[in-house]
Chains A and B, each alone.
Chain A
């Protein structure tokens, strides 16, 4: 199979028939429309659903194709935090992940989602200094709160890759690498599968190569960055002049925690586990 055939497309429900035989993430605001529109053939193509409105009546989805992963995308995390409780029932029949945009107040939603045992994916391109502080708070919560048992990406992914010394960047951790996933906007145009979902003039097939070449040029911030192998220039898009001073703080904390965890784990010469019951 070609790379293109293996690529996942995040498409609006209306375009589901335009990508036959391709792995799909289908997004919609109305669960009823999803259930009524998607045929068994579509379902076979589905990697996951993305529900864009947490206020929608979720009952239709509860018994529909149990086991199918569902991402619920928050539009206004702070205001919608209380609505996360609506996902508790859905979580019984589907793996549910909450997508939280990194905007002011997002950490409240992260906290409550984690307390409800819901995995979280943080989405945001280039956080400003105020958001860096909130990101650090969210990271501390992830690292140290005993009630957190589910991943918060990208914290979780970075921690794992550093501990195991894996050559994986944020593009893969966030499932946003253009070679493996594309976002099809509401007009049918393919873009990068990451916020702010804006169109780029660059060729998506060569985007990653060109970005890497650009950000590693002489004297660039990335060329001397100790975190580049974990980041892959992730924060140099869409604005190539974005300063990474703040995000480096976040990475430094993640790396310190990973090394500390690595040291702790190395004290265990063999695996020790307890029965879950």
Chain B
């Protein structure tokens, strides 16, 4: 049996302190109050009891979470912990911030509530992340400074990065070197872009040539395996794919879950509920309902027609797409709905990054096979043949 856990992507504010050109969110000035948070948590705990779910992980995002004050989070942590304890449930927390508003005053709450870990985002090179009235270089400089400060304070920093046209031109080696050698980051993840929300030039050009992107991912996988694998550098989803193809437990990203509707839900600062942060502010027609006004969260989820579309999406991939015949169905399941919808305008079609994923899967499968063969050979007995000792080992 698989584990049973609910993941909530919670936006305590829809407001942001920067203006990244390719952002998929429709920003508003809304903030969630502690009363609204307490109400939300109680309804979620009711839902967990109803669904026999023992554990909830809250992924705190925005907007930008560091627009709120650390004191707000300290109080939030207290009231969530007390509510979870009353119900015998476990609630964990994860923080995603652009780190532009970071200062030492956040260290306490990051340590106490978020296990001294924070996730952030940066591209190489940075083309679209900008503060209002400032350049991308300004943004990068502030971000790099704050990351350095956070790491000096003992905070573990993970980075999500989205390749752009310049990334492809510079190649995997330069990309890897920037994060690992220049910034000292040893835990990062590469995502693919999608043109969510209101369309603009940056969003349009952020959708890259798929074959070129596939080549980039394959090259990056090779660079990581050559330089990072043995050194313990985590590069998602590449490292997790290697685990998967070696038959180990792997934590693959949400885009490749059997059905993301079974695991994730998002709530924004106005109480709107949707599949994830990619949908909740930008696509009102795909919202499941509003948690503040709903009688119960379970009922909201059960009765939502929009949610039913998400739940049934993998079935459509099997019925209408070529996914049933794909050897990678077991790790992809048709991919990400928001990438499909935002890029093609269709919901019940497979993820347009299909060919990119398959190229990466194939490369990681090959690397895993080589690695497994080498390990297998090393573990074999040395067999004497014709008086000689033959080493059956295979080197990579």
* The residue from A147, A272, A274 contacting B327, defined by CB atoms under 8 A apart: A147
* The residue from B2, B50, B248, B330 contacting A92, defined by CB atoms under 8 A apart: B2
Of the 9-residue stretches B93-101, B214-222, B311-319, B337-345, which lies at the interface with chain A?
B311-319
What interface size band does chain A fall in? 35 or more
Q: Does B1 contact A (CB under 8 A)?
A: yes
A102 to B346, CA, bound (A): 36
Residues of chain A lying within 8 A (CB to CB) of residue B2: 91-92, 117
| In the complex with contacts A146-B245, A267-B380, A89-B262 CB distance below 8 A | yes
Return the CB mask of A86-129 against B: 1 if under 8 Å, else 0: 10110111110000000000001001101111000000000000
A91 to B263, CA, bound (A): 13
A62 to B48, CA, bound (A): 12
Tell me the B370-396 residues at the A interface (CB within 8 Å): 379-381
Residues of chain B lying within 8 A (CB to CB) of residue A7: none
Residue of chain B at shortest CB distance from A274:
B248
Return the CB mask of A69-101 against B: 1 if under 8 Å, else 0: 000000000000111111011011111000000
Return the CB mask of B1-35 against A: 1 if under 8 Å, else 0: 11110000000000000000000000000000000
Contact A92 B51 (CB under 8 A): no
Q: Does A276 contact B (CB under 8 A)?
A: yes
Residues of chain B lying within 8 A (CB to CB) of residue A276: 248-249
| In the complex with contacts A63-B51, A91-B1, A276-B249, A81-B381 CB distance below 8 A | no
| In the complex with contacts A146-B245, A269-B381, A272-B379, A62-B258 CB distance below 8 A | no
B260 to chain A, nearest CB (A): 11
A95 to B329, CA, bound (A): 21
| In the complex with contacts A63-B51, A116-B258, A92-B324 CB distance below 8 A | no
Residue of chain A at shortest CB distance from B312:
A85
Q: Does A277 contact B (CB under 8 A)?
A: yes
Residue of chain B at shortest CB distance from A275:
B248
A30 to B316, CA, bound (A): 24
Contact A112 B329 (CB under 8 A): yes
A124 to B38, CA, bound (A): 55
Residue of chain B at shortest CB distance from A264:
B376
B298 to chain A, nearest CB (A): 10
Contact A93 B4 (CB under 8 A): yes
Residues of chain A lying within 8 A (CB to CB) of residue B4: 92-93
Tell me the B237-262 residues at the A interface (CB within 8 Å): 245, 247-249, 258-259, 262
Tell me the B338-371 residues at the A interface (CB within 8 Å): 365
Q: Does A66 contact B (CB under 8 A)?
A: yes
Contact B318 A81 (CB under 8 A): yes
Contact A82 B319 (CB under 8 A): yes
Interface-centre pick from A82, A83, A272 (highest chain B CB count, 10 A): A82
Residues of chain B lying within 8 A (CB to CB) of residue A94: 1
Contact A85 B381 (CB under 8 A): no
A67 to B247, CA, bound (A): 25
Residue of chain B at shortest CB distance from A116:
B258
Q: Does A220 contact B (CB under 8 A)?
A: no
| In the complex with contacts A63-B51, A63-B52, A147-B330, A93-B248 CB distance below 8 A | no
Contact B3 A92 (CB under 8 A): yes
| In the complex with contacts A66-B52, A147-B330, A277-B248, A82-B1 CB distance below 8 A | no
Q: Does A5 contact B (CB under 8 A)?
A: no
Pairs across A and B, CB under 8 Å, 26 listed:
A59-B302, A62-B52, A63-B50, A67-B1, A81-B324, A82-B315, A82-B319, A85-B258, A85-B315, A89-B259, A89-B262, A93-B4, A95-B1, A114-B330, A115-B330, A116-B258, A117-B2, A145-B327, A146-B245, A147-B328, A147-B329, A147-B331, A268-B380, A272-B379, A277-B248, A277-B249
- Shortest beta-carbon contacts, A-B, top 10: A115-B330, A82-B318, A63-B52, A147-B330, A82-B315, A85-B314, A115-B329, A92-B4, A92-B2, A88-B258
